[in-house]
Structure 1
Amino acid sequence: MTSTTVARNVVTGLRDMGVRHVFGVPSGGWVDYMEAIRTTDGIDFVLTSHEGGAGFMADVCGRLTGVPGVCFGTFGPGATNLATGVGGATLDRSPMIALTDEMPAPLRGRTVQMAIDHQALFAPLTKTTMRIEADGAADTLAQAARIALSGRPGAVHVGLPQGMSAEAVEPAAIGPIVPDAPPAPDAAALDALTAAFAAAAKPVLAVGLGAVHAGVQDRILALAERFGLPVLLTPMAKGMVPEDHPNYAGVLFHALSDMVGRTHAEADLVVAVGYDPIEFNYESWMKDGLALASIDVAPADIDRAKHPVAAEVVGAIAPALDALLALPAGARGWDLAALAERRAAMFAKLKGREGRFGPCAALDVLRDVLPADGIMTCDVGAHTHLIGQHWRTPRPGTQIMTNGWSAMGFGLPAAIAAKLCRPDTPVCCVLGDGGFLMTVGELATAAREKLPIVIVVFTDNDLALIRIKQEKKANPIYGTPVRAEGTIGGPSLFGVPVTVARDPAEFRTALEAGFAADGPVIVEALLDSREYDELVLRKDKP
C-alpha cells in the first residue's frame, strides 16, 4: 500500500467527516498540515487575527453544520488564546475539535520555551482531551468527533506532537461520524412525567438549547396548542416558538424578564424540555416550592430542597413529548387572552420610540432590512439582553449568540463563520463598541476572505450593563466609559468602510447599502445608552 503522512491523514480525515474550514494562526509545526490542506480539495485554512477568534469561528461552524468546527493554536500563548473560544464551544454546547501543537514525548515535562501541559490546560474547558499517535491519527480524530457530537455537544482537544506530521504511515480514512444516541427513556420515568402533567392545573413549558439539538420544535408547538400552555424560551432556544404565536410567553433572563415572570409565577409545574441551566439556573427564576418535570439528555441540575422534582426523564427527548401528546387533549387553566395582553405590553415597551436614537429603534430598523432568512449574530452586552427579548427569530439558527459562555468579542468572528458556512445567506452582526474592540482585528479576516457581511456597531461609549449596576449601588461611574465621546474612528478600519448613522433614517439607508455591497461594511449607529436602564437587569423571580 502506498504510504502517506500523518499530516495528510489528519487533513483528509477532517475533510471526509465534513469539515470545510480550519481556523487559526499557523506555527512552524503546523506547516505540513497547511500544505496538506492546500493540496486537498474541499477543505481550506482560514488565517485569523487571533486564536480566540478562530475558536469562536469554529464554534459557529459546528452549530450551523452539525459537523465539529475545527481550530488550531500553537504552543503556550497560541493555546491559551485559543482556550477562550474552546471554552465557549463547551458551555454553548457546540461540537468542536480544538487542535494544538504539543511537545514530542522526549520533551514533555522538560523546561522548554513556550511549553505548558496542554492536556491539563484544556481538561476543564472540554469534554475530553487526547493526542494523536502516528499510526492512529484518523481513529483519534473520529473518536474526538463522536464525543464532541454526543450528548450535550462540546469541544474536544487533540494534541499534535511536533515532528510527527511528516512521518510516513499507511493511508487511513474516516467514515461518517455517528454520535452516540441518547438512551430510550425509562418507562417508570415516563409514567411519573405523565402523572405529574395530568395532575397539574397550570403547567408551563420551559424550552432550552437541548430541545433545539433534539429537533423537537413541531412536538413542542403541538404540545402547547393541545393543552393551551405558555412556552418560555431560554435565549439560545430563540426561534423554537415564533414571537407571534398565541402560546409564546417570552425569553427568560433577558430584557423585561419581570414581565415574563408574571406568567411563570402563576404556574404549578415547570415542564422543562432540553433545559440547560448553563444559560440560566432554575433557582434564579422559579418561585420557591414550584415543582419541576425535566426532560433532557442529562439529569436536572436544581436545588431539590427548594424545588420538588416531580418527574425526571433522562434520555431521548422526543419519546417523552410523544407520551405527553398521547394524553387526552384539553386546555388547562391558563388565560391565553391575558397572556396575549402581557406579550403585547412587553413588545410595546421594546418598540423604538421618538426622540433620541436608541437601541430599540436600531433593532427595529435592522429587523426590517434583514431578510427573514438572514442570520444575525451578536456580541455580549446590554444590547444582547434587548436582542434576546426583542429580536423576532423565525427559526433556530437565524439568531446566534453566546449565553452559556458569554464572552465579549464573539459577535464578529461568529458572523464571519456564518457567512463562510452559508455563503448565499445575508449575514450581519450586532456589536457594542466595547465588545467590538476585543476582536476588531478579525475585520482583516473578513476583508481577506472578501465576505459580504454587515457589521453593526452600537456606539454609546459605555459599558452599559456594568454602569447600570454601579448606579443601582449608588456608586460613581468609573471604568465603564469606552471613550469620552465620538465614533470608533475613521472612514475605514482594516480596509473595511465605515458609515456613521445618527438617526433611524440614516441607519436604514446605510444598512441597505451595506447589504448590497460585495464585501464587509461597518455601520456605526450612534445611540443613547440610557434606554437600556429601564429595560434590562429586571427581576427574574416574583
Structure 2
Amino acid sequence: MTDISVAQQVVDALKELGVKHVFGVPSGGWVDYMEAIRTTEGIDFILATHEGGAAFMADVCGRITGAPGVCFGTFGPGATNLATGVGSAYLDRSPMIALTDEMPEHKRGRIVQMAMDHQALFAPITKKTTRLEAGKVREILFDAAQEALSGVPGPVHVGLPVGMSAEKTTPQDIAPLPQIKIDNAGSEQLEKMQQLFTQAKKPVIVLGLRAALCGIQDEVKALAEKFNVPVVINPMAKGILSESHPSYAGVLFHALSDVVGQTHQQADLVVSIGYDEVEFSYEDWMPDAPLVSLDIVTTELDTQQYTLACDVLGDIPHSVQQLLACDCGPKDWDLQALAARRDDMFTRMSPQNDVFGPCAALDTLREKFPQNGIMTCDVGAHIHLIGQKWPTPKVGLQIMTNGWSAMGFGIPSAIAAKLCNPETPVCSVVGDGGFLMTAGELAVAVRENLSIVFVLFTDNDLALIRIKQEKKSNPIYGTPIRERGTIGGDNIFGVPVLKAFNQNEYGHALEKAQAMGGPVIVEAILDSREYDDLVLRKDRG
C-alpha cells in the first residue's frame, strides 16, 4: 500500500465514518487538512466565524446525521472558544469529534505562545480525550467515533500535533468499529418492572431524550392507549407523542409546568423511559411515588428522599416492549380531566388581547411554517414557551439545547440543520440577547447561500433574569439590551431584515421571507411582559 500523508488519512477516515462537513476556523497547522478536504469528494470544510459556533454546528450535525459531528480549533483561544460548543455536545448527548492543534512533542510542557494543555482542557467536557499518532490514524479516529456514538453519545477530543499532517505513513487496513451493543435488561429487573406497573393504579410515563433517540414513538403511543396513562415529556424529547393525543400531559420544566404538575403529582408510580437527569433533576419535580427507570445508565436519584423501586438497565426498546406486554387493564386516570388541564394550559399560552407578544409570534410562525420543517431555537424566555407550546409532529423537527443551555445556539444550529437537510425548510427563533452572541455566523449562511428564516424576537430584555430580579423585589439592572428600538438596520452581514411591529406585519414578513430564498431575518418587535405569568413556575403545582 502506498504511503500517504497523515492529513489525507484523517480526511479519508472521517469520510468513511459518514462525515460530510467539518466546521472550524483554520490555523497554519490546519492547512494540510483543508487541502485534503478540498481535494476529497463528498466532504467539505465550512468556515465558521467563531470556533464556538463551529462546535454548535458540529453538535447539531451529529444529532441529525448519526455520524459524529466534526469541528476544529487551533491552539489556546481557538480551543477555549471551541470548548463552549463541545460542552454543548457533552451535556446534550450529541456524538462529536473535536479536533484541535497541539504542540509537537518537543514543545509540550514548555513556555510557548498560545500553548496550553488541551488534554486537560477537554477532559471534563468529553467522553475521552486523546492525541493523533502518525502510524495509528484510522485506529485512533475509528475508536473516537465508536466512543462518541456508543452508549450515551457525546464528544471525543483528538489533538493534532502540528507538523504531523505532512508526514507520510502507510494507512492501517482496518474498518470503522461497530457501536457497542447494549444488552437487554435482566429478567429479574423486567419482571419486577412488570409487577410494579401491574399493581399501580395511577402510573405516569415520563419520556427523556434517550427515548426520543431510540425510535419508540409507536410503542409509547401503544403504552398510553393500552393502559390509559398520561405521558409527560422532557423538553428534548419533543415530538415523541403528539400534543393532541389524549394522554399527552405536557412538558416538564417549561412554561406553565405547574399545570403539568397537577397531573404527575397524582401518580402512585413514575415510569421514566430514557430519562436524562441533565435536562431536569428528578428531585425538582418527582411526586411522592416510587420510580421505575428504563434506561441504559444507572439512575441518579436522592434515595434518602425518594424510592428507586427498579433500575431497568438495558436496551430501551426491548424494555419498553416488555412493559407493553404487562397483563393488566386500563389504569384509573381520568383522561377527561387531563384534557381539561391540557386545554387550559394551551389557552393560557394563546395571545392575550391585542398585544403583539411571543405567544402571537409563535402561533403565526407555526401557521406559516411548513409542518415538516425544522425549527431550532436559542436559549432565553422564548425557549420555555417553545418547549411547552410549539406543536412538533415528530422527533427532530424541533432542535434546542437544554442540558448545556448556551445562549447563542440558535443561529449555528439552524445553519447545521440546513446543511444536513438542504431540501427541508428550516427556521430559527432567537432572542435579541442570544442573537448578539453569534450573529457573526450569519456570514456563514450567506456564504453557503442557505435558505433559512431567522425569526428574531426583539424585546430589548433578558426576560428570564429580569423576572427573577422582580421576584426578589430587586431593581431592573443589567438586563435591558438597549433602551428601545430594533436590533439594527435593514441588512446584517448581508442578510436582509424584515421588521414587524404588529401581528399583521409579522405574518406578511414571514410569507415574504420564505419566498425570498437565501437567509432572511424577520425581526418581531415584541412585548416581553407576556412571559411573566407563563415561565418559571413550580413543577409540583
If the length of structure 2 is used for normalisation, what is the TM-score?
Answer: 0.99
Q: CA deviation at 1:474?
A: 0.2
**How high is the sequence identity, in percent, across the aligned residues?**
63
Could you tell me how far apart the structure 2 residues matched to 1:455 and 1:531 are?
21
Matches within 5 A, 1:233-272: 233-272=233-272
Could you tell me how far apart the structure 1 residues matched to 2:340 and 2:50 are?
47
Could you tell me how far apart the structure 2 residues matched to 1:540 and 1:508 are?
34
Q: Where does residue 114 of structure 1 map in the other structure? A: 114
Matches within 5 A, 1:58-73: 58-73=58-73
| Structure 1 runs (4+) greater than 4 angstroms displaced | none
Could you tell me how far apart the structure 2 residues matched to 1:526 and 1:463 are?
14
Q: Where does residue 39 of structure 1 map in the other structure? A: 39
Could you tell me how far apart the structure 2 residues matched to 1:508 and 1:355 are?
15
Q: CA deviation at 1:173?
A: 6.1
Q: Where does residue 500 of structure 1 map in the other structure? A: 499
Q: Where does residue 412 of structure 1 map in the other structure? A: 411
Could you tell me how far apart the structure 2 residues matched to 1:327 and 1:162 are?
59
Q: Where does residue 207 of structure 1 map in the other structure? A: 207
Q: Where does residue 85 of structure 1 map in the other structure? A: 85
Could you tell me how far apart the structure 2 residues matched to 1:117 and 1:162 are?
14
Render the CA deviation track for 1:465-511: whole Å, top value 9, x for unaligned.
00000000000000000001000011100010001001111111111
If the length of structure 1 is used for normalisation, what is the TM-score?
Answer: 0.99
Q: Where does residue 221 of structure 1 map in the other structure? A: 221
What amino acid maps onto 1:529 in structure 2? S
What amino acid maps onto 1:143 in structure 2? D
Cα contact 1:10–1:137 (8 A) shared by 2: yes
Matches within 5 A, 1:328-343: 328-343=327-342
Render the CA deviation track for 1:264-306: whole Å, top value 9, x for unaligned.
010011000000000000000013x321000001011111111
Which runs of 5 or more structure 1 residues have no equivalent in the other structure?
none
What amino acid maps onto 1:45 in structure 2? F
Matches within 5 A, 1:11-410: 11-172=11-172, 175-287=175-287, 289-410=288-409
Could you tell me how far apart the structure 1 residues matched to 2:241 and 2:499 are?
35
Could you tell me how far apart the structure 2 residues matched to 1:438 and 1:290 are?
42
Q: CA deviation at 1:515?
A: 1.1
Cα contact 2:256–2:535 (8 A) shared by 1: yes
Cα contact 1:17–1:174 (8 A) shared by 2: no
Moved more, 207-216 or 256-265: 207-216
Q: CA deviation at 1:172?
A: 4.0
Could you tell me how far apart the structure 1 residues matched to 2:155 and 2:174 are?
19
Q: CA deviation at 1:47?
A: 0.2
Render the CA deviation track for 1:55-104: whole Å, top value 9, x for unaligned.
00000000000100000000000000000000000100000000000011
Shift in alpha-carbon separation, 1:174–1:11, aligned structure 2, 3 A: farther
Secondary structure of residue in 2 paired with 1:396: coil
Q: CA deviation at 1:328?
A: 2.0
Q: CA deviation at 1:213?
A: 1.8
Could you tell me how far apart the structure 2 residues matched to 1:260 and 1:327 are?
26
Q: CA deviation at 1:348?
A: 0.5
Could you tell me how far apart the structure 1 residues matched to 2:80 and 2:530 are?
37
Render the CA deviation track for 1:104-159: whole Å, top value 9, x for unaligned.
11111111100000000000000010111001011101000000001110000000
Secondary structure of residue in 2 paired with 1:259: helix
What amino acid maps onto 1:219 in structure 2? E
Could you tell me how far apart the structure 1 residues matched to 2:122 and 2:30 are?
19
Could you tell me how far apart the structure 2 residues matched to 1:278 and 1:40 are?
39
Could you tell me how far apart the structure 1 residues matched to 2:127 and 2:221 are?
32
Secondary structure of residue in 1 paired with 2:159: strand
Could you tell me how far apart the structure 2 residues matched to 1:174 and 1:368 are?
50
Cα contact 1:13–1:173 (8 A) shared by 2: no
What amino acid maps onto 1:181 in structure 2? K
Moved more, 258-267 or 217-226: 217-226
Cα contact 2:135–2:171 (8 A) shared by 1: no
Q: Where does residue 424 of structure 1 map in the other structure? A: 423
Could you tell me how far apart the structure 1 residues matched to 2:362 and 2:355 are?
14
Render the CA deviation track for 1:421-480: whole Å, top value 9, x for unaligned.
000000000000000000010011111111010001000000000000000000000000
Shift in alpha-carbon separation, 1:240–1:174, aligned structure 2, 3 A: farther
Secondary structure of residue in 2 paired with 1:135: coil
Could you tell me how far apart the structure 2 residues matched to 1:173 and 1:515 are?
48
What amino acid maps onto 1:421 in structure 2? C
Cα contact 1:17–1:177 (8 A) shared by 2: no
Moved more, 182-191 or 426-435: 182-191
Secondary structure of residue in 2 paired with 1:498: strand
Q: Where does residue 4 of structure 2 map in the other structure? A: 4
Secondary structure of residue in 2 paired with 1:190: helix
Secondary structure of residue in 1 paired with 2:388: helix
What amino acid maps onto 2:248 in structure 1? Y
Secondary structure of residue in 1 paired with 2:418: helix
Which runs of 5 or more structure 2 residues have no equivalent in the other structure?
none
What amino acid maps onto 1:336 in structure 2? L
Secondary structure of residue in 2 paired with 1:134: coil
Q: CA deviation at 1:329?
A: 4.4
Structure 1 vs Structure 2 CA RMSD: 0.9
Secondary structure of residue in 2 paired with 1:293: strand
Could you tell me how far apart the structure 2 residues matched to 1:145 and 1:456 are?
35
Could you tell me how far apart the structure 2 residues matched to 1:31 and 1:7 are?
9
Could you tell me how far apart the structure 2 residues matched to 1:329 and 1:502 are?
55
Cα contact 1:102–1:159 (8 A) shared by 2: yes
Cα contact 1:24–1:48 (8 A) shared by 2: yes
Could you tell me how far apart the structure 2 residues matched to 1:308 and 1:314 are?
17
Q: CA deviation at 1:354?
A: 2.6
What amino acid maps onto 1:385 in structure 2? H
Secondary structure of residue in 1 paired with 2:135: helix
Could you tell me how far apart the structure 2 residues matched to 1:176 and 1:130 are?
17
Secondary structure of residue in 2 paired with 1:93: coil
Cα contact 2:184–2:319 (8 A) shared by 1: no
